[in-house]
Amino acid sequence: MDQHDIVVVGSSAGGIPALISLVRGLPEDYAASVFIVQHVSPNAESILPRILSYSGKLPAAHPRDGEKIKAGHIYVAPPDYHLLVEKEHILVKRGPKENLFRPSVDALFRSAGYMYGPRVVGVVLSGYLNDGTSGLWTVKRLGGVAIVQDPKESLYRDMPANVLEYVKVDHTMKVSEMGPLLATLYGEKPPPMPEVTAEDMERIQAEVVIAAQGNAYEMGVLQMGEVVPISCPECHGALIRIEEGTVVRFRCHTGHAFSADALLESISSAIEEELWKAISRIEETNILLNRLGNHFADTGQGRLAEFYLKKAGEAARKAHAVHEAIYRYQMSPVETLVMKKKGIPKA
């Protein structure tokens, strides 16, 4: 079919109002198939399909794994499942997380680009960090159309702003203008498939299979890029550095994938978690030392009491120092990077 009939949309924080505005602008006779990844809690029921069905003229639903793609339908990724496309069917899989999320915008975009090439229209809306940048780069690399919400309009500008920094997009616009544009694009003939190296196509295919629960190691993930001396924050596996144009990202040998920002965010969270564990252990030691010191004091063993109570004081000072390290105002690596991009000086 020579039409732009596959539309993939990614959003995160602030994305619900944008999605409502987008589907509201789609005409009743719009015959493309629309696939949406909105980051949601993995443990909560999603009512987004009902909201979108009520807000627009097209039916929206969480698809079943293996369901046949229908024209004029909106498919929303269920919580904690990747939404992928394969030939004329939909895949709903619990593959490894990408950018700390499942569902992943990148995983959806990558699968659509690989399967449908120039027929794909990719749309990135409001959100934090940069899920969607790599995926939209792939959509463009394979001949598709790239659209982003104007960061000035986005409730959270990170996702569209990151796309604009790394991907040559076709349209930057308000969400209210996207429905009419998508309707116009549907009636236009896509360009021919651009030349892509066999190596690039093999890597894209492998990453689509990994998102669909394929074994990353068996898919040759270690040959996708340079192994770096950093372990995966999710599973402590070996991380591989992957380059896509000017985009740099990482994937571990078990399949987890990270943008540079997402990796920094995850490492920062892991450091804070370890510091809280350290406080817990030090304070447990303090409790034990105080109780032993008081016991020896009560039983007339003054020298031992003095020794243990002194050690308890040292433990208390160590715990206080770690507390200060956590609570003292310090910019996280991601906050520093974001402020640098925006040209905002540190206070």
Q: How far is CA 155 from the centre of its chain?
A: 17
Quick one: which of 52, 62, 59 has its CA closest to 23? 52
Measured at the alpha carbon of residue 328, what is the angle toward residues 323 and 330, in degrees to the nearest 5? 130
- Strand-pairing partners, residue 171, are 147
For the annotated catalytic residues, the residue numbers are 12, 39, 131
How would you write the chain as a 3-class SS string?
Answer: CCCCCEEEEEECCCHHHHHHHHHHCCCCCCCCEEEEEECCCCCCCCCHHHHHHHHCCCCEECCCCCCECCCCCEEECCCCCEEEEECCEEEEECCCCECCECCCHHHHHHHHHHHHHHHEEEEECCCCCCCCHHHHHHHHHCCCEEEEECCCCCCCCHHHHHHHHHCCCCEEECHHHHHHHHHHHHCCCCCCCCCCCHHHHHHHHHHHHHHCCCCCCCCCHHHCCEEEEEECCCCCCEEEEEEECCEEEEEECCCCEEEHHHHHHHHHHHHHHHHHHHHHHHHHHHHHHHHHHHHHHHCCCHHHHHHHHHHHHHHHHHHHHHHHHHHCCCCCHHHHHHHHHHCCCCC
Q: Which two tokens stand for residue 163?
A: 């796309």
Query: What are the C-alpha distances in Å from 219 to residues 78, 198, 253?
Result: 26, 15, 10
